[in-house]
């Protein structure tokens, strides 16, 4: 037993330690469990959905809304919970929305970005009870134009400008149809200040009770918007059972009320009057565009009236008009007007304008002025004229009609008398005292007969002068082009002729050089040999008779003369010096050879762009220079001969000048023997189509200048 007891008396580890150790050893070996994703948020209020961005709303988050059913629209309806109003889009086949305003409904679906504000697409809608219809939000037309009242149940006031009964594209329930079974609705134009609102009502209204009345109306606001999610204007929808409350009945119900002067519109009224309501005016028609506008004139002032009434009127008709006064560009305008013909009067005559400041008293009136026609522009729908009159630029328009097919020839520059309906434009500056004088004028011509030409435009108008100058310019350009073309052709021909002449001259020079070599190698050598032999026998001829000695001496002289002549001929025929040197170098070698056995000093200088010349030019200038130097040596007895060559752009100038005894040019020209060298010089220069100038005075030397083209 003691043994056994000692064997089992070791202390055991605690159970918690064993469990921890097991967890360390076992848990790393177990596979990792996947985490469950968080559930997608469920939107349960309209305010939460409308607070979403379009990108977030487009993710189709689930929704469950409970609220008051308000009104049905096309494939949609509006509802409102305790937080906000919202539009619910439905399918006409899958979701039943046959409910009434005040029903409490539950909508299940998902968020939708909408075209303007976030909304909901419903997958199911069910009735869950009854709810109290929420009170409308009091607002103004100006607040609606801020663009933040979309889908809200609102209440506002305004004056009814127009009432129209129109066909309804939405099918109404049978109890909402007219006794004749017509499906109609009422469209109102509500105005407050300078803002207007279109109201579409499911109830039919009596226009005579509501036109010009101030009303209070309740409905759902939504916005006409563009493709960039930007609102254009608000629209109010009112469901069945909603009828506007009349706060103030119409002021003018008929044409039987006394008319007021046109000049009294928009003037200061201490009593306040009835701003925004219709007024009754009466006047004589000066012009009409049926279905769009007409212009009338009473005893003091004229007025433009916008009316869709298409009854035709003629100038001189007397009419009564009911309409809403609205500020125009410069003077009031009557909008949404109706008229009634009362009688006839003489055709109104235009008011003659003689100075610019008169136009502010005759806005919308029929006027006439004298002006200069500056420009005529024709468009498919109108003809626009620009005139200079009253010390300013006047614009005039003639609306297209049948008479425009035979429009007179209105030429700019004509002095004209023009009549039409005046529209006074805004001035560029507004004085601090508030008096606004207009500085621009536009005329609406009633027909082509409103413009009469007093003085036709001169035939030479600026346009025709421009055309004439353009024609002269084109003719000058064509002439220059022909001259250039002819000159180029002439230059090509001259180039070809020069090339042919140079080729021919080169062939002649080659042949002459060959003949010169033949003479040098044969005839000159033989004559030289004869001269040498005769020279050798001179000592032995003393024993001969005197006559024989004379014949031998004569033969010797003839041989030497023939040898000299042969060498001169060879020199004249050959230009070997040009084969190794240019013109300057060749003249320098020839001049030095010619003065070699004399005390004469010869010098050659060159200026310009030194270059080789065509053979015919170079050879003839060489001969001219050689002839001039030879003449100076033979006849002038100079001490110095200067030769200068100037290279210009396509021109060459050669000057040979000496300080010899000179000569009288008139006498030299009469002596053919003495002037033979000068004649040769002139002939060579004429051959090159150049110029030669010879100046000489007895005792003062001679200067020969030659200029040719290369």
Q: How many residues does the chain have?
A: 710
In a domain, 197, yes or no: yes
In a domain, 505, yes or no: yes
- Tens digits of per-residue pLDDT, 240-257? 888 999 999 988 768 888
Residues 593, 703, single domain; the answer is yes
Location of structure tokens 């006559």: 547
Does residue 435 or residue 57 have the better pLDDT? 57
- Band (10; pLDDT cuts 50, 70, 90): very low
**Residues 551, 558 contacting (CB under 8 angstroms):** no
Q: What is the domain-level CATH number for residue 664?
A: 3.30.565.10
In a domain, 4, yes or no: no
Residues 307, 242, single domain; the answer is no
Distances (CA, A) of 1 to 26, 286, 497, 614: 39, 142, 153, 149
For the ranges 92-96, 565-569, 652-656, the maximum mean pLDDT occurs at: 652-656
In a domain, 37, yes or no: no
- Tens digits of per-residue pLDDT, 179-188? 555 678 899 9
User: Residue 88 carries which DSSP code?
Assistant: E
- Tens digits of per-residue pLDDT, 480-502? 999 999 989 888 887 787 777 66
**Residues 60, 78 contacting (CB under 8 angstroms):** no
**Residues 611, 570 contacting (CB under 8 angstroms):** no
Q: Among 216-225, 590-599, 697-706, which is the least confidently predicted range?
A: 590-599
**What CA–CA distance (Å, rounded) separates 564 from 547?**
26
Beta strand spans in 176-213 (E): 184-192, 195-201
Residues 236, 327, single domain; the answer is no
In a domain, 359, yes or no: no
Say how many domains are in the chain.
Answer: 6
Residues 242, 288, single domain; the answer is no
For CA atoms 383, 384, 388, 391, the dihedral sign is: positive
Q: Is 435 exposed, middle or buried (0-12, 13-18, 19+ CB in 10 A)?
A: exposed
Does residue 84 or residue 663 have the better pLDDT? 84
**Looking at residues 430-457, what average pLDDT do you find?**
83
Residues 209, 232, single domain; the answer is yes
In a domain, 702, yes or no: yes
Residues 590, 691, single domain; the answer is yes
- Band (622; pLDDT cuts 50, 70, 90): confident
- What value does the mean pLDDT of the chain take? 83
pTM of the model: 0.60
H/E element, 444: strand 441-445
- Band (394; pLDDT cuts 50, 70, 90): very high
Which of 356-362's residues contact partners 24+ apart within 8 Å by CB, and which partners? 356/390, 356/391, 356/392, 356/439, 356/441, 357/437, 359/390, 359/422, 359/424, 359/438, 359/441, 360/330, 360/424, 360/437, 360/438, 362/302, 362/422, 362/424
H/E element, 657: strand 651-658
Segments forming the whole domain that contains residue 667: 581-709
- Band (52; pLDDT cuts 50, 70, 90): very high
Of the chain, the end-to-end C-alpha distance in Å amounts to 150
Beta strand spans in 262-391 (E): 279-289, 293-297, 302-306, 317-326, 333-344, 351-352, 366-378, 382-389
**What CA–CA distance (Å, rounded) separates 424 from 353?**
13
Residues 601, 682, single domain; the answer is yes
Backbone conformation region of residue 642, classed left if phi is above 0, alpha if psi is from -120 to 50, else beta? beta
**What CA–CA distance (Å, rounded) separates 286 from 266?**
22
Residues 51, 118, single domain; the answer is yes
pLDDT at 554: 77
Q: Among 51-55, 189-193, 234-238, 555-559, which is the least confidently predicted range?
A: 555-559
pLDDT at residue 432 is higher than 80? no
Residues 533, 560, single domain; the answer is yes
**Residues 641, 629 contacting (CB under 8 angstroms):** yes
Which candidate, 57, 53, 72, places its Cα nearest to that of 121? 57
Q: Is 45 strand, coil or helix?
A: coil
- Tens digits of per-residue pLDDT, 354-393? 988 888 889 999 999 999 999 998 888 889 999 999 989 9
pLDDT at 19: 42
- Band (623; pLDDT cuts 50, 70, 90): confident
Where is the domain boundary, 215, 248, 281? 248
**Residues 649, 631 contacting (CB under 8 angstroms):** no
Distances (CA, A) of 522 to 526, 527, 528: 6, 9, 10
Residues 6+ apart with CB under 8 A from 369: 352, 353, 354, 389, 390, 394, 417, 418
- Tens digits of per-residue pLDDT, 559-615? 777 766 665 665 555 455 666 778 888 888 888 888 887 888 999 999 998 888 887
- Output the six-digit token pair for 443: 């005329």
- Band (509; pLDDT cuts 50, 70, 90): low
Where is the domain boundary, 558, 574, 590? 574
Residues 6+ apart with CB under 8 A from 173: 240
- Tens digits of per-residue pLDDT, 269-322? 887 777 889 999 999 999 999 999 999 999 989 999 999 999 999 999 999 999
In a domain, 643, yes or no: yes
- Output the six-digit token pair for 79: 């509802």
Q: Among 2-11, 412-421, 616-625, 679-688, which is the least confidently predicted range?
A: 2-11
Residues 450, 565, single domain; the answer is no
- Band (542; pLDDT cuts 50, 70, 90): low
Residues 566, 492, single domain; the answer is yes
- Tens digits of per-residue pLDDT, 636-647? 889 999 999 999
pLDDT at residue 173 is higher than 80? no
pLDDT at residue 14 is higher than 50? no
Which candidate, 149, 240, 243, places its Cα nearest to that of 188? 243
- Output the six-digit token pair for 510: 């080659």
pLDDT at 583: 84
Which candidate, 154, 127, 131, places its Cα nearest to that of 143? 154
Q: What percent of the chain has pLDDT over 90?
A: 45
Beta strand spans in 345-391 (E): 351-352, 366-378, 382-389
pLDDT at 244: 95
pLDDT at 426: 62
pLDDT at 568: 60
In a domain, 14, yes or no: no
- Tens digits of per-residue pLDDT, 15-40? 444 444 444 444 444 444 445 566 77
- Phi (first) and psi of residue 209, to 5 degrees: -85, -30
Residues 441, 478, single domain; the answer is no
Q: What is the domain-level CATH number for residue 207?
A: 2.40.50.140
pLDDT at 403: 56
Where is the domain boundary, 88, 105, 130? 130
């Amino acid at each position: 037993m003691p043994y056994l007891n000692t064997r089992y008396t070791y202390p055991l580890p605690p159970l918690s330690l064993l469990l921890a150790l097991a967890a360390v050893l076992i848990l790393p070996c177990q596979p990792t469990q996947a985490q469950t994703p968080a559930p997608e948020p469920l939107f349960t209020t309209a305010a939460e959905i409308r607070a979403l961005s379009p990108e977030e709303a487009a993710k189709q988050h689930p929704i469950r809304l409970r609220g008051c059913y308000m009104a049905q629209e096309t494939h949609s309806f509006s509802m409102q919970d305790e937080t906000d109003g919202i539009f619910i889009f439905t399918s006409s086949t899958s979701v039943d929305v046959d409910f009434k305003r005040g029903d409490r409904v539950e909508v299940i679906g998902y968020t939708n970005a909408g075209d303007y504000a976030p909304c909901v697409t419903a997958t199911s809608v069910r009735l869950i009870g009854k709810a109290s219809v929420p009170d409308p939000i009091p607002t103004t037309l100006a607040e609606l134009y801020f663009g933040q009242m979309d889908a809200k149940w609102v209440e506002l006031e305004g004056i009814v400008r127009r009432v129209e009964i129109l066909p309804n594209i939405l099918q109404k329930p049978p109890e909402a149809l007219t006794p004749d079974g017509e499906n109609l609705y009422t469209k109102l134009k509500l105005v407050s200040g300078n803002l207007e609102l279109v109201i579409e009502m499911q109830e039919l209204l009596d226009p005579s009770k509501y036109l010009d009345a101030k009303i209070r109306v309740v409905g759902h606001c939504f916005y006409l918007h563009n493709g960039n999610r930007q609102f254009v204007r608000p629209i109010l929808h009112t469901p069945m059972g909603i009828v506007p409350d009349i706060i103030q009945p119409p002021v003018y119900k008929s044409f039987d009320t006394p008319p007021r002067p046109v000049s009294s519109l928009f003037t200061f009224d201490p009593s306040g009057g009835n701003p925004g309501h219709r007024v009754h005016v009466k006047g004589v028609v000066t012009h009409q565009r049926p279905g769009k506008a007409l212009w009338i004139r009473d005893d003091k002032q004229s007025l433009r009236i916008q009316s869709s009434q298409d009854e035709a009127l003629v100038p001189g008709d007397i009419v009564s008009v009911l309409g809403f006064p609205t500020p125009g560009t410069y003077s009031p305008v009557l909008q949404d007007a109706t008229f009634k013909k009362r009688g006839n009067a003489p055709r109104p005559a235009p008011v003659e304008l003689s100075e610019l400041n008169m136009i502010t008293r005759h806005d919308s009136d029929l006027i006439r002025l004298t002006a200069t026609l500056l420009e005529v522009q024709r468009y498919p729908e109108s003809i626009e004229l620009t005139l200079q009159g009253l010390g300013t630029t006047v614009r005039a328009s003639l609306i297209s009609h049948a008479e425009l097919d035979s429009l007179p020839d209105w030429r700019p520059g004509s002095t004209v008398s023009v009549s039409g309906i005046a529209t006074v434009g805004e001035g560029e500056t507004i004085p601090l005292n508030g008096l606004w004088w207009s500085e621009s004028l536009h005329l609406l011509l009633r027909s082509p007969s409103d413009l009469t030409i007093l003085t036709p435009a001169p035939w030479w108008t600026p346009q025709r002068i421009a055309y004439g100058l353009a024609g002269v310019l084109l003719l000058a350009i064509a002439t220059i082009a022909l001259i250039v073309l002819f000159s180029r052709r002439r230059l090509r021909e001259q180039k070809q002729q020069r090339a042919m002449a140079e080729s021919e001259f080169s062939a002649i020079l080659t042949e002459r050089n060959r003949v010169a070599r033949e003479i040098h190698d044969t005839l000159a050598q033989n004559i030289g040999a004869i001269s040498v032999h005769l020279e050798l026998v001179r000592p032995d001829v003393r024993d001969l008779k005197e006559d024989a000695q004379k014949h031998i001496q004569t033969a010797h002289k003839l041989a030497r003369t023939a040898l000299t002549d042969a060498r001169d001929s060879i020199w004249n025929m050959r230009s070997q010096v040009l084969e190794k040197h240019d013109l300057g170098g060749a003249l320098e070698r020839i001049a030095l050879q010619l003065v070699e056995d004399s005390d004469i000093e010869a010098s050659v200088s060159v200026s310009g762009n030194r270059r080789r010349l065509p053979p015919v030019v170079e050879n003839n200038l060489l001969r001219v220079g050689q002839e001039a130097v030879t003449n100076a040596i033979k006849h002038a007895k100079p001490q110095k001969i200067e030769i200068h060559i100037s290279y210009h752009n396509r021109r060459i100038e050669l000057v040979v000048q000496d300080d010899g005894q000179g000569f009288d040019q008139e006498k030299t020209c009469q002596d053919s023997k003495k002037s033979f060298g000068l004649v040769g010089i002139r002939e060579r220069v004429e051959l090159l189509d150049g110029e030669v100038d010879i100046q000489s005075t007895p005792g003062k030397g001679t200067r020969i200048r030659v200029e040719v083209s290369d």
